[in-house]
Amino acid sequence: MVTKVDHIGVAVNNLEESVKFYEEILGLKLHGIETVEEQKVKVAFLPIGDTEIELLEATTPDSPIAKFIEKKGQGVQHVAFRVENIEEALEEMRRLGIQLIDEKPRYGAGGARIAFLHPKSTNGLLVELCERKG
């Protein structure tokens, strides 16, 4: 079902500030910054091997990122797994009784189609399913 870790989502207070650690200390290269209105986030992608670090900054006070940081501080907020077909994956999750946050796929960064599973069903990890064309 899931084929790889598409990205690791890390909640940060300030994108530009946080990118410095990944570039200057870890030697990664910023691939791009994008705002995803619907999710109320600004994201920065830093590729590493065949996966990516996705830094996430809230764009509104009611962003899930703002709420996460309020409660838990900065840190890993979700892990995204790549799927071939997100509709089929959601159908399978539904069949297996997994609590879905998104019944239908939504738009993610880089034109991905994404859907979240509730941490209650995943032993506490916020899971994002991510389908990318090509």
Ligand X SMILES: C[C@H](C(=O)O)C(=O)SCCNC(=O)CCNC(=O)[C@H](O)C(C)(C)COP(=O)(O)OP(=O)(O)OC[C@H]1O[C@@H](n2cnc3c(N)ncnc32)[C@H](O)[C@@H]1OP(=O)(O)O
Q: Cα(89)–Cα(114) distance, rounded to whole angstroms?
A: 11
DSSP states of 7-48: EEEEE-S-HHHHHHIIIIIT-----EEEEEGGGTEEEEEEEE
**Binding track, positions 89-128, relative to Co ion; x by CB under 5 A:** ---------------------------------------x
Go through the chain and tell me how many residues it has.
134
68: three-class secondary structure by DSSP? helix
CB of 2 to ligand X, least distance (A): 15
Interface residues for ligand X in 81-110 (CB under 6 A)?
101, 108-109
Query: Which spans of this chain sit near ligand X (rule: CB under 6 A)?
Result: 9, 36, 39, 41, 43, 54, 56, 64-65, 67-68, 77-78, 80, 101, 108-109, 112, 114, 116, 119, 124, 126, 128
